[in-house]
Every structure is written in C-alpha cells, then in structure tokens.
Amino acid sequence: MATLVTGIFNSRGSAELAVEDLVNAGFSRDDISMLMSDATRGREFGITEDTKAPEGATTGGVVGGVLGAIAAGLIAVGVIAVPGIGLVAAGPIIAALAGAGAGGVAGGLIGALVGAGIPEHEASFYSEEIEKGGILVGVYTHDDRSKAAKEIFETAGAESIKSR
C-alpha cells in the first residue's frame, strides 16, 4: 500500500536537498511532488515576470528550467503554474490540482491536497504554510520505505513531517 510522506520546507536549498536525497536513496522522481506559491517561486528563484512577448517567452523557459533543476528532474513529470490561486506545482500533485478544478477556486489548494490523500485539517495547515512562503514536498512510497523518507525530510530540515 502506498504511503504519502510530506513536509514543509522554509527554503529552496532545504527543499532541493530533500528531493536530491530522495532520488539518491532510490525513490522515483515520478513519485515526488513539490508545491509552492507563485510568490515563493519569484522570491526563492529570483524570477521576474515581464509583459514583453519575447522576454516573456524567455521568462517562461527559465521558469520551467529552474523548477526542473531544483526538483532534480521533476520537470519530466510536469510543472504547472496555477495563476488563479497563485501556485506552482511539480509531480503527481498536478493530477490532484486538475481534479479539484483549481483554476481560481479559493479552496482549490485545500481541495487538491485532500484529493491527494491529506486530511482536511492538515491540508488547511499546509495551505497556510504555502501562502506564508513554505515549499511542500511530498513523496509516495511503500509503507516499508516511509520511515526512510521521513528521515530524509528531517535531515533536510522539514517541518511538520507527516505520513498517511
């Protein structure tokens, strides 16, 4: 049975470390998700939006490249920006966002997290942390590997590590 292990990271560096360590420990990139606010993406990655079409196209390419790099290849799974609720997501969480109809629904993030298997009270907490600038990283694993995932998150500096 699959277990979802999640943790909130307060910086790009700690989130990158966790993802890199998960991959190095044999966890599949296809099972790792990352979720952050659009504001965090801009602050942590120094990305500025521009209204000029040619530069905007370049910015879009840079966004995809930077997010792919920080997630150690999660870009292969997919990265989406959800402007209606100001989110950037990579990994399997994308399906939950799409299923929740996240395009502008105020409760879209909470609904998506609940859809991914996170209890509503935890989803509400994670939503607040993401809005405050936290980066949510999650990994789907088999029960026998969830302890290893938790240890990786803890070593990388995650807060509020949960498994379900």
What's the confidence (pLDDT) of residue 80?
57
- pLDDT for residue 5 is more than 80: yes
- pLDDT for residue 54 is more than 50: no
**pTM for this one?**
0.73
- pLDDT for residue 84 is more than 60: no
What's the confidence (pLDDT) of residue 47?
47
Residue 108 CA to residue 149 CA, distance in Å, equals 27
**Residues of the domain holding 64:** 2-163
Closest CA to 1 of 144, 163, 161, 149: 144
What's the confidence (pLDDT) of residue 58?
38
Residue 80 CA to residue 26 CA, distance in Å, equals 25
Percent of the chain surpassing pLDDT 90: 36
Residue 110 backbone dihedrals phi, psi, to 5 degrees: -60, -45
| Residue 52 CB partners (closer than 8 Å, separation 6+) | none
Residue 76 CA to residue 16 CA, distance in Å, equals 16
- Domains held by the chain: number: 1
With bands split at pLDDT 50, 70 and 90, how would you rate the model's confidence at 92?
A: confident
DSSP assignment of 122-137 equals HHHHHHHHHHTT-EEE
pLDDT 10s digits, 35-47: 888 777 666 655 4
153 vs 67, more confident: 153
- pLDDT for residue 142 is more than 50: yes
- Lowest average pLDDT, out of 48-62, 85-99, 101-115, goes to 48-62
Residue 159 CA to residue 30 CA, distance in Å, equals 23
Output the average pLDDT for the chain: 74
Helix (H) / strand (E) element for 6: namely strand 2-9
